[in-house]
Structure 1
């Protein structure tokens, strides 16, 4: 059996003096697509932040590509370089006059290291290829602040694909997209995942997409309430236990 890309054991995270995540255990198999679902305030973003080392954990263990995540969030640079992250929003795009090509180029640079000048040509080629693969070739000289929501999400995927990686983490990456833009983003993500061999962990409220696209579902409401295939984890009984009896499911309208 191949080693899990991500392994989490009895993870607990405290935020603002309370347990936001408690005793969570799961593993991600190589090249799998796992959805993290649950109601607002369930601790999904907190869990993801802890896995990335952005917030401290109270207890438990996290291993990424066989390497333990330090209690201070530290990982070997070689492992950190294998992780890509797509946030719900990019808070900096209106503050810094970065072009799309400049931003995507940062994804090529080794974490914490200055790229040697001799590699600048390789960097330029990699950026152009990443823009082409994500349908962003016409956006290279545009400022991030000028992009629509759908364009920005494609640029974030270009940032992820500019160098080979193994783990892709998305925090409600579809948020703010209309139905056509969401469909385009999900199809692009599906194609890139297969081409790159990514292991994906994505927070999502789009349960229809999760049913269609994901291999595994983690149902979180502070604790892991259930997990398994979409058919099992998204059964009416499981959803009732996770969201309560008054759950409202929002479904995108799909057109043939």
Structure 2
């Protein structure tokens, strides 16, 4: 049996004195696209940040690629992350290709001189950045300042950042926030295509119930703790949505 890409057992996370996530357990199987859904304040982003080791957890365990998160070492490069809000100074003079280039990790080549290694790495980086930009349909924006991009363009550039080196796990925290319906649909289509090509395992936080039901393999309904998990047709049943969101859950559904 294949080991899970991500395994969480009994995870509890506090934000200050507030209990944000309680006794959460689940696994991600390689090659799947799993969505975390739930109301505002349910602990979705907190859970993702704990998985990324950005905030500490009180109890429980997190393993990625079979290793505890504090022992991943260079395997961290196999994880791509797109935050809900990419906050930056829009006047900062950095181009699209320079931003994507920050995601590239040089390979050690001991057989060559330092000059030869640096030259080869520079060429390899340029090729990798150009290919990532082409595959996310933003190559034409490569010399444009990132502060001039639209929300949808910026999301594609951030996806190119994740694509510039091989990844196994892609984590998206409300990646479509600030993107219109058509832009989100186009992004989902691109994400699905790249997932198939790259063999990514995807974990995403989303409020879009309709899109999740069409695009994801599995769904985890969260309201501090796991309410239910399973295939979309099971996890997103009216009864489970009611248990997760309460009587007003229908307002969270987006119709396209």
Q: Give the TM-score range, shorter chain.
A: over 0.9
TM-align CA RMSD: 1.4
- The Cα of 1:251 is off from its aligned counterpart by 2.1
Within 5 A, what are the aligned runs for 1:202-217? 202-217=204-219
> Could you say if the C-alpha distance between residues 188 and 105 of structure 1 is closer, same or farther in structure 2, counting changes exceeding 3 Å?
same
Q: Is the 8 A contact 1:81 1:110 kept in 2?
A: no
Q: Deviations over 1:188-228 (max 9, x none)?
A: 11101101000000000011111101111011110111101
* Structure 2 stretches lacking a partner, 5+ long: 108-116
Structure 1 residue runs of 4 or more that deviate by more than 3 Å after TM superposition: none
- State the partner residue of 1:149: 151
The DSSP-based 3-state class of the residue aligned with 1:169 is: strand
The DSSP-based 3-state class of the residue aligned with 1:151 is: helix
The DSSP-based 3-state class of the residue aligned with 1:242 is: helix
- State the partner residue of 1:108: 104
- State the partner residue of 1:75: 72
- How many residues align? The count is 245
- State the partner residue of 1:65: 65
> Could you say if the C-alpha distance between residues 65 and 110 of structure 1 is closer, same or farther in structure 2, counting changes exceeding 3 Å?
farther
Distance 1:234 1:93 in 2: 39
2:192 aligns with one of 190, 193, 196: 190
Q: Which moved more, 1:87-96 or 1:157-166?
A: 87-96
Q: Rg bigger for which structure?
A: 2
TM-score (norm 2): 0.93
The DSSP-based 3-state class of the residue aligned with 2:129 is: helix
- The Cα of 1:108 is off from its aligned counterpart by 1.0
* Structure 1 stretches lacking a partner, 5+ long: none
- The Cα of 1:52 is off from its aligned counterpart by 0.2
- The Cα of 1:93 is off from its aligned counterpart by 5.0
Distance 1:173 1:226 in 2: 23
- State the partner residue of 1:47: 47
Q: Is the 8 A contact 1:44 1:220 kept in 2?
A: yes
Distance 2:183 2:175 in 1: 11
The DSSP-based 3-state class of the residue aligned with 1:81 is: helix
- State the partner residue of 2:84: 88
- The Cα of 1:110 is off from its aligned counterpart by 5.6
- The Cα of 1:95 is off from its aligned counterpart by 5.3
> Could you say if the C-alpha distance between residues 53 and 110 of structure 1 is closer, same or farther in structure 2, counting changes exceeding 3 Å?
farther
Q: Is the 8 A contact 2:106 2:121 kept in 1?
A: no
- State the partner residue of 1:172: 174
TM-score (norm 1): 0.93
> Could you say if the C-alpha distance between residues 109 and 121 of structure 1 is closer, same or farther in structure 2, counting changes exceeding 3 Å?
same
2:221 aligns with one of 219, 222, 245: 219
- The Cα of 1:48 is off from its aligned counterpart by 0.2
Q: Deviations over 1:163-207 (max 9, x none)?
A: 110000000001111111111111111101101000000000011
Counting helix residues as a fraction of each chain, which structure ranks higher? 2
- State the partner residue of 2:93: 97
